[in-house]
Amino acid sequence: MTESLISFTEGAASKINEVLEEQGSKESYLRITLLMGENGGTAYEFGLEDEPTNTDTVIDSNGIKALIDSGSAPLISGASIDYVEGMQRSGFVISNPNMPAAGGCACGGGGCGCGK
């Protein structure tokens, strides 16, 4: 396992562990996929998986076990995932140095987000 590809803040790790526990999936891996849109936009997709594939990079950061596919790995390298709670919205925020700084967005509940 590696810790250098992406990192999770304590807030993100806490929220992810809370969701895993609620779903009875405490031993699952969090799959993170970076999707590139036709217009240059990006989206991050989160999911749960029981086992890594042969082409996955396995991350262990702040107690979170995550999987990154080989296509997403170079585009997400150095990213940090945080969880923020606010009056108007709560959700995961991804700071990715490989993507243009165009602000950030996040959504809660389902656990998705996009970042700068």
How high is the pLDDT of residue 41?
A: 78
Q: What is the CA radius of gyration of the chain?
A: 13
How high is the pLDDT of residue 1?
A: 53
Report pLDDT digits (tens) over 76-92. Answer: 999 999 999 988 888 99
* Backbone dihedral angles phi then psi of residue 4, each to the nearest 5 degrees: -90, -15
Q: Which secondary structure element, helix H or strand E, spans residue 11, and what is its range?
A: helix 10-22
pTM: 0.76
Residue 21's DSSP bridge partners are: none
Domains of the chain: 6-114 (2.60.300.12)
Instruction: Give the pair of three-digit tokens for residue 19.
Output: 């969701």
